[in-house]
């Protein structure tokens, strides 16, 4: 069958061949992924990395903590994802805010935050991230489990390997599953009978390998997989399809065999794979990850580490020398105790030989130079990784070093933000808005700016409803009463707190924009940077300046002090400012009045 021959040919080429790059190098994606996995496990790919002096060569992984550093510095949260208003109108802003909350709720329901963590961990290690949208969720696709075009992954069929137990395979709901299970179990039984007690198993437990082919294939291949007749011209026509089958090896004539479970044509919107590339390189599909970027650094770092270990192993031997022939070959042979005095003939010498080579400090200096080079390549400076600064280092200097060191990660976050926005726009946004519109309500926690928009929008609506109700009841409402109604509603709004349930949102959802924006800069990631900025800004404004009050509220928000907590401790503050019985203290009364006014202002806001 064309399908089996195609897959076997692609697998053979992927695992054994290389492609030429513009630079003149030969590239194998299979070997690169294999090398990265060896690096993660602190292993050499060369089996000869051992000798009789130190045994297995040391492997000091210099990329692992740098991968974690970039993952931590570029990690995203769901709160960074919002929908941009279509224009600057109040209605557009409210629609975008409500739609953003609906989208964030959907992302939480689909566990998108965990997916973002996996994305941030994988990208700097492999230089690329391949994911798949299945069952209304995004999943990481391990590069170890795919066979792809090494030049352009998404332009050619992707062959993905899955492994199922018989029970898992039956739950998939595919056709011909029983045939595959029976064949696989019989095949395993035959191998187990032939295998000796000391032989290695040739199968992976009870798992059955299933291959999924997704991409543009010939119409002939798709029809043959569906057990349909096809014409010669079908071999020259291509369609986007998804085919799932289990390979069953070769028959007696050496022809590849298998059983097809699923074979259907799919649309562009149903194509499940997405790819993000870090530091793209011309001529190949995946970019450059940190292990590959530091491959030369790792090689020389391990070389000097090995030479240092070998020198210490040799130099660490305790060896004595003497020109007296009466001294035995080994002072340990006779059980010499500590403090024993050895006598040698007159004019002869006896001493300990210093075997520590002078090259050891030189090796350490060279490794330090390679370490500095790796730090510059990956922005992993001491101020960034959290190393304790030297005594006497000014805070401002440390702050500036942190800013400079993390600037490269901001660029990475920007690139990642484009990819995340693309995922959500193409697969999540429409479904999230439809679900929110159907529910016609949203329950969420809002910040000060969002609450201000909500309160002002709801205030006018509630005020108008009260006026209409009073007017229909025969009561004339004058402007003073309108102000009292508005103030009463504002007071009630302040009692609701930061968590609100908003109803009647269907109309707002319909008017929401369709552009997802991902905030790629987040001052909250560095509290030192955040509070340094806020502290400097506070000094620019006077005590009662509205800008200073806004900055004060921003500080309280980031410190986690809510308005509900302020209200809880307000009475204590008032009591502390109240003068004791029989004592007249006008300054304290003034402080009490200021505390009450400040509390009232906070609650109303």
What is the average per-residue pLDDT within 317-333?
71
Non-local CB neighbours of 214 within 8 Å, separated by 6+ positions: 157, 158, 160, 241, 242, 243, 266, 271, 272, 273
What is the average per-residue pLDDT within 424-429?
92
What is the average per-residue pLDDT within 197-203?
43
What's the pLDDT at 589? 47
| CA end-to-end distance (rounded Å), the chain | 72
User: pLDDT digits over 442-457, tens only?
Assistant: 887 777 677 777 777 6
pLDDT surpasses 90 at 459: no
pLDDT surpasses 60 at 50: yes
What is the average per-residue pLDDT within 518-534?
61
User: pLDDT digits over 112-127, tens only?
Assistant: 999 999 999 999 999 9
395-427 and 429-439 are packed helices; what angle lies between their axes, rounded to 10 degrees? 80
User: pLDDT digits over 466-498, tens only?
Assistant: 888 888 887 877 878 877 877 777 666 655 666
What's the pLDDT at 469? 81
Of the candidates 276, 292, 323, the residue with the CA atom closest to the CA atom of residue 128:
276
**The token pair that represents 393 in the structure block:** 């280092």
Of the candidates 146, 154, 110, the residue with the CA atom closest to the CA atom of residue 126:
146
359-378 and 295-315 are packed helices; what angle lies between their axes, rounded to 10 degrees? 160
User: pLDDT digits over 331-354, tens only?
Assistant: 665 656 766 677 777 778 877 766
pLDDT surpasses 80 at 502: no
What's the pLDDT at 144? 95
Of the candidates 367, 316, 306, the residue with the CA atom closest to the CA atom of residue 48:
306
Instruction: Report d(CA 291, CA 576) in Å as an integer.
Output: 61
Q: How big is the CA angle at 342 (ends 340 and 345), to the nearest 5 degrees? A: 165
Contact status, residue 123 vs residue 278, Cβ threshold 8 Å: yes
Instruction: Report d(CA 602, CA 445) in Å as an integer.
Output: 18
Instruction: Report d(CA 69, CA 348) in Å as an integer.
Output: 61
593: left (phi over 0), alpha (psi -120 to 50) or beta: alpha
User: pLDDT digits over 536-589, tens only?
Assistant: 777 777 777 877 777 777 777 666 565 555 655 665 666 666 555 555 544 444
What's the pLDDT at 388? 55
Contact status, residue 265 vs residue 239, Cβ threshold 8 Å: yes
What's the pLDDT at 268? 93
What is the average per-residue pLDDT within 5-28?
91
Domain residue spans in the chain? 2-41+128-277, 318-354
pLDDT surpasses 70 at 527: no
């Amino acid at each position: 069958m064309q399908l089996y021959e195609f897959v076997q040919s692609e697998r053979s080429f992927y695992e054994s061949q290389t492609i030429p790059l513009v630079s003149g190098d030969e590239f194998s994606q299979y070997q690169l992924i294999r090398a990265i996995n060896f690096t993660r496990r602190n292993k050499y790919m060369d089996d000869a990395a051992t000798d009789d002096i130190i045994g297995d060569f040391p492997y000091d992984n210099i990329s692992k903590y740098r991968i974690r550093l970039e993952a931590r510095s570029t990690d995203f949260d769901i709160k960074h994802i919002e929908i941009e208003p279509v224009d600057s109108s109040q209605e557009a802003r409210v629609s975008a805010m409500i739609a953003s909350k609906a989208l964030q709720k959907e992302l939480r329901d689909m566990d998108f935050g965990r997916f973002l963590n996996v994305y941030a961990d994988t990208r700097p290690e492999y230089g690329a991230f391949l994911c798949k949208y299945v069952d209304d969720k995004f999943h990481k696709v391990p590069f170890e489990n795919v066979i792809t075009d090494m030049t352009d992954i998404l332009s050619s069929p992707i062959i993905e390997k899955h492994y199922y137990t018989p029970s898992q395979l039956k739950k998939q709901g595919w056709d011909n599953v029983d045939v595959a299970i029976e064949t696989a179990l019989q095949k395993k039984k035959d191998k187990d009978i032939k295998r000796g007690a000391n032989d290695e198993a040739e199968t992976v437990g009870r798992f059955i390998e299933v291959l999924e082919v997704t991409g543009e294939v010939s119409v002939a291949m798709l029809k043959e997989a569906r057990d349909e007749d096809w014409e010669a011209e079908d071999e020259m026509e291509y369609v986007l399809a998804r085919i799932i089958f289990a390979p069953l090896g070769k028959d007696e004539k050496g022809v590849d065999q298998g059983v097809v479970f699923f074979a259907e044509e799919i649309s562009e919107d149903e194509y499940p794979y997405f790819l993000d590339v870090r530091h793209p390189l011309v001529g190949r599909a995946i970019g450059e990850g940190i292990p590959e970027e530091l491959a030369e650094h790792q090689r020389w770092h391990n070389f000097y580490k090995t030479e240092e270990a070998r020198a210490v192993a040799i130099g660490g031997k305790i060896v004595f020398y003497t020109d007296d022939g009466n001294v035995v070959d080994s002072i340990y042979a006779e059980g010499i105790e500590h403090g024993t005095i050895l006598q040698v003939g007159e004019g002869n010498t006896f001493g300990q030989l210093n075997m520590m080579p002078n090259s050891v400090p030189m090796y350490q200096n060279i490794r330090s130079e390679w370490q500095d080079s790796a730090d510059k390549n990956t922005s992993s400076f001491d101020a960034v990784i959290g190393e304790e600064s030297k005594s006497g280092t000014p805070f401002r200097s440390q702050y500036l070093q942190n800013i400079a060191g993390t600037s490269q990660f901001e660029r990475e976050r920007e690139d990642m933000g484009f990819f995340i926005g693309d995922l959500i726009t193409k697969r999540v946004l429409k479904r999230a808005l439809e679900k929110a519109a159907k529910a016609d309500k949203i329950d969420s926690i809002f910040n000060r700016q969002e609450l201000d928009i909500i309160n002002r929008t709801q205030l006018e609506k509630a005020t108008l409803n009260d006026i209409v109700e009073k007017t229909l009841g025969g009561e004339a409402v004058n402007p003073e009463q309108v102000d009292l109604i508005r103030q009463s509603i504002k007071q009630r709004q302040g009692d609701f707190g930061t968590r609100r349930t908003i109803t009647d949102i269907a109309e707002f959802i319909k008017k929401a924009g369709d552009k997802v924006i991902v905030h790629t800069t987040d001052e909250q990631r560095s509290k030192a940077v955040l509070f340094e900025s806020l502290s400097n800004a506070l000094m620019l404004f006077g005590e009662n300046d509205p800008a200073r009050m806004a900055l004060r509220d921003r500080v309280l928000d980031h410190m986690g002090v809510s308005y509900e907590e302020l209200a809880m401790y307000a009475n204590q503050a008032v009591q502390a400012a109240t003068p004791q019985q029989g004592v007249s203290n006008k300054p304290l009364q003034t402080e009490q009045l200021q505390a009450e006014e400040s509390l009232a202002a906070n609650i109303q806001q």
